[in-house]
Amino acid sequence: MFNLPRLLLHSVAMAGNTGAPLLLRLVAASVSVAEKAGTIVRSVFDSGELGVVEKDGKNDLQTQADRSAQECIVQSLSRQFPKVTIIGEEEPTDETVDESHLVTGLSEEVLKAVCPQDLQSVKDEDVVVWVDPLDGTKEYTQGFLDHVTVLIGVAVKGKAVAGVINQPYYNYKAGPGATLGRTMWGIVGLGAFGVERLVPPADKRIVTTTRSHSNKLVTDSIEAMQPDEVLRVGGAGHKVLLVIEGKAHAYVFATPGCKKWDTCAPEAILHALGGKLTDIHGNALQYHKDVKHPNTGGVLATYSDHDWYLSRMPESVKAAVKP
């Protein structure tokens, strides 16, 4: 019921949509912007000029795609929603804005949706948008393109309530003629669209975790889950999609490496489908504008049996990974 056709994007003047609730307009704009950002990510890769720099070591990279995609997202949304707080992963630059990166279109599919009643009167000052312009940067530079996502999460009063995920290289191994890329969006209380919830295998337990940020805490927590298979992949968005699409039962990351812009969009879409994302203690993540960016309590995402995974978390790990 959640697998809708590819979203139709159409430029609609803001003045013509003043009747739509703020949240719907913001998600509609984010879908259009995420599509454009995904195109930028592919264009930079195709150019061969990735412009890689290290931010905090070899496992924390930034590319021209990160920088240009963030400019696209933040500048486009801030011009349409100047009173909304927008927090991006990358530091702002002093470079002149590339006007070709700006997007004013809104997704008609989103605008046709009925906004949940509890979100119809959301005010600008209650909203924080969390942006990861290219989740899975290291994998992007290494050619693991299916790990890459563009993440735009919307929080209201500290709670993740809506998310947009663009997967620029979805279907990239499908061969000539396949549609490249997809965009998913969801609102808690409404549902998720562009992605289908699938059930994982019943005869084994599959856990997904980090590919490049492992340590003893991560290893100990994974072993405690007694998995039959461990998928070590890049990108928080990608790992939550593995849970949603039934390729993994749980995403377990018992270390503080993940940030709010990594989890806000995936959490909202997972919750919209009935799943759950918390820290490893079972606490809800907070997304206020003044909150610390790292998810210091780690991340646990599941579609079912969340309490079982929490119960399996070693006490030594919980003592070391504090909220």
66 is catalytic: yes
- For the chain, state the CA radius of gyration: 19
pLDDT at 19: 81
Tokens of 137: 């940067």
End-to-end CA distance of the chain: 36
Query: Rounded to whole angstroms, how far apart are CA atoms 64 and 2?
Result: 34
Measured on CA atoms in the order 168, 201, 233, 243, is the torsion positive or negative? Answer: positive
Return the SS3 of 87: strand
The one-character DSSP state at 294 is: B
Kindly name the residue from 39, 63, 135, 137 that is annotated as catalytic. Answer: 137
Yes or no: say if 120 and 41 are a contact pair by the CB < 8 Å rule: no
The one-character DSSP state at 158 is: T
176-195 b/e with 16+ CB inside 10 Å = b? eeeeebbbbbbbbebbbbbb
Yes or no: say if 40 and 65 are a contact pair by the CB < 8 Å rule: yes
Q: What angle do CA 42, 196, 114 make, to 5 degrees?
A: 95
Query: Rounded to whole angstroms, how far apart are CA atoms 41 and 64?
Result: 9
- pTM value is 0.91
Query: Rounded to whole angstroms, how far apart are CA atoms 268 and 191?
Result: 10
- Angle, helices 64-80/22-47, rounded to nearest 10 degrees: 160
Kindly name the residue from 39, 63, 66, 302 that is annotated as catalytic. Answer: 66
Residue type, 265: A
Give the chain's length: 323
Residue with structure tokens 């808690």? 188
137 is catalytic: yes
The one-character DSSP state at 211 is: S
| Count helices and strands in the chain by DSSP H and E runs | 9, 15
Strand duo 191-193 + 182-187: pairing: antiparallel
Q: Which residues are 231's β-sheet partners?
A: 208
pLDDT at 58: 55
pLDDT at 10: 35
Residue with structure tokens 């995420």? 34
pLDDT at 213: 78
Mean pLDDT (10-residue bins), the chain, 323 residues? 33 50 98 97 89 65 88 96 94 74 95 97 98 93 94 98 98 88 98 96 97 90 98 97 98 94 98 98 98 97 98 97 92
Please give the backbone phi and psi of residue 128, each rounded to the nearest 5 degrees, phi first.
Answer: -130, 130
